[in-house]
Amino acid sequence: MNSMIHAPAGAPSDALAATRSAYLAALRQRVIEVSYLAKSAHLGSSLSCIEILDCIIRASGLTPENMTAPHRPRLVMSKGHAAMAFYAALEAWGLIPKTHLDRYLQDGTALWGHVTRSSAVPAIDVSTGSLGHGLGLTAGYALGYRLRGWTARSFCVLSDGECDEGSTWEAILFAGHHRLSNMVAIVDYNKIQSIDRVSNVLELEPFADKWRSFDWTVREVDGHDPWAMDAVLGTPATDRPLVIIAHTVKGKGVPRVENTVASHYHPARESDRTGHANA
């Protein structure tokens, strides 16, 4: 079992870059370990958003001290099937106790196979797992915070596949129209949805143009470059909601499953536990 992973903080430097790279590799290994032990699917979906989740939590300012405050930053893990990555990232930031993930999917424990809120995990704001709900929840938070005069931002991690859902586009239209500049969506654009590639199922391209035409500010980044995402998340808000299209690789870090449809379904193998590559 891994020792406790702690997220390093601070501005980029060679030393910190090495530390952060090692930390993210450990986070990725934690997910592989959990998938192997729990025989959990959605390994590929989880491994593509390791850096995204770390950057979002870092940028949000959510801490164990403020995680139940009414005006806290809000994190909505809309791609709730990548629960292992979300739980591991929350764990690294001290937002859920390690004991929970050690017993992932065991009978009678706290963490479900899709992101689920319960009294045992107060850091989890909302339950997801059915796609197309998260962006509307985030828009609701953003609208509510604006009405309340609260300044924290609301963040949403979307999968590319759930951009098939009409309800996602309802939320995009609403947030753009109302200039909800206090919300950030980040799409884990790994190009593979459930049982096929995005380009074969429902092509999203020109993806950035679509968001832009709905009055969003759009940034495209390498979703495995944490410094690039930090930079985008750290830039001052515009008068529009921000979407970060993060280009990623499904199954990132496990060469055997990288960029495969099967990585959505098959759990990690024993050989993956030590054979992983660093991000």
Contact footprint for other proteins (CB under 8 A) = 70, 117, 125-127, 129-130, 132-133, 136-141, 143-145, 147-148, 150, 166-167, 170-171, 173-174, 177
Q: How far, in Å, CA of 226 to CA of 251, rounded?
A: 17
Shortest Å distance, C-beta 162 to other proteins: 13
Instruction: Report the C-alpha gap between 156 and 78 in whole angstroms.
Output: 6
The span from the CA of 162 to the CA of 226, in Å, is 23
Which is nearest to 52 in space by CA: 193, 253, 207, 233? 233
Are the C-beta atoms of 83 and 115 separated by less than 8 Å? Answer: yes
| Residue (39 or 177) nearer to other proteins, CB | 177
CB of 110 to other proteins, least distance (A): 16
CB of 153 to other proteins, least distance (A): 14
Look up residue 217 and give its two tokens. Answer: 């500010």
Q: How far is the CB of 30 from other proteins (least distance, A)?
A: 28
Cβ contact 223:229 at 8 Å? yes
- Residue 140 CA to residue 145 CA, distance in Å, equals 8
Nearer to other proteins, 215 or 220 (CB): 215
- Indicate the residue among 164 and 220 with the shorter CB distance to other proteins: 164
Taking the least distance from each CB to other proteins, the nearer of 23 and 214 is: 214
* Residue 102 identity: D
Which of 134, 253 has the CB closer to other proteins? Answer: 134
